[in-house]
A = this chain, B = another copy of it.
Amino acid sequence: MGRNAASERLSSLDGQAPESTDFANYFCTYAYLYHQKDMLEDHKRTGAYYNAVLQNRRQFHGKVVLDVGTGSGILAIFAAKAGAKKVYAVEATDMAKTARKLVEHNKFGDVIEVIQGTIETIELPEKVDVVISEWMGYFLLRESMLDSVLLARDKFMKPDGAMYPSHARMFMAPIHTEVGSRRNTEFQGSMEGWAEFIQEMQSFYQVDLECLNDTFRQEQREYYLQTAQWCDVHPSQLLGPGTPFKSYDLGKVTIEQIKAGIEEEFEMDVVEGGPVHAFCGWFDVAFRGSDAHPADTPVTLTTAPDPTGATHWGQQSFYVVPPVECSPGDMLKASIKVDRRKDNHRLLRVEMGVSIDGQPGSSRQLAWNIE
Which one of B20, B28, B207, B219 lies within 8 Å of A77 (CB-CB)?
B207
Which one of B4, B24, B134 lies within 8 Å of A29 (CB-CB)?
B4
Instruction: Decide if A125 is an interface residue (CB 8 Å cutoff).
Output: no
Instruction: Decide if A143 is an interface residue (CB 8 Å cutoff).
Output: yes
Would B39 and A2 count as touching, CB distance under 8 A?
A: yes
Selecting from A10-18, A243-251, A359-367, the interface stretch reads A10-18
Q: Which residues of B contact A313 (CB under 8 A)?
A: 2
Given A12-B23, A18-B21, A34-B223; A98-B215 close (CB under 8 Å):
yes
Would B25 and A69 count as touching, CB distance under 8 A?
A: no
Instruction: Decide if A145 is an interface residue (CB 8 Å cutoff).
Output: yes
Interface size class of A (residues with CB under 8 A): 35 or more
Copies in the complex: 2
A9 to B248, CA, bound (A): 33
Would B13 and A28 count as touching, CB distance under 8 A?
A: yes
Would A47 and B204 count as touching, CB distance under 8 A?
A: yes
Q: Which residues of B contact A81 (CB under 8 A)?
A: 206
Would B1 and A134 count as touching, CB distance under 8 A?
A: yes
Instruction: Decide if A41 is an interface residue (CB 8 Å cutoff).
Output: yes
Which one of B3, B211, B219, B312 lies within 8 Å of A38 (CB-CB)?
B3
A168 to B37, CA, bound (A): 43
Q: Which residues of B contact A4 (CB under 8 A)?
A: 29, 371
Q: Which residues of B contact A24 (CB under 8 A)?
A: 10-13, 17, 21, 24-25, 344
Selecting from A100-108, A152-160, A170-178, A290-298, the interface stretch reads A100-108
Q: Which residues of B contact A46 (CB under 8 A)?
A: 204-205
Would B39 and A69 count as touching, CB distance under 8 A?
A: no
**In the complex, which residues 103-140 of chain A have their Cβ closer than 8 Å to any Cβ of chain B?**
104-106, 134-138
Task: Report the minimal beta-carbon distance from A52 to chain B, rounded to whole angstroms.
Answer: 12
Q: Which residues of B contact A371 (CB under 8 A)?
A: 4, 6
Closest A-B pairs by Cβ, 6 of them: A12-B24, A6-B10, A105-B211, A21-B21, A7-B29, A2-B313
Residue numbers of A with Cβ under 8 A of B are: 1-13, 17-18, 20-21, 23-26, 28-30, 32-35, 37-41, 43, 46-47, 50, 69, 72, 74, 77-78, 81, 98, 101-102, 104-106, 134-138, 142-143, 145, 194, 197, 200-201, 204-212, 215-216, 219-220, 223, 312-313, 344, 346-347, 371
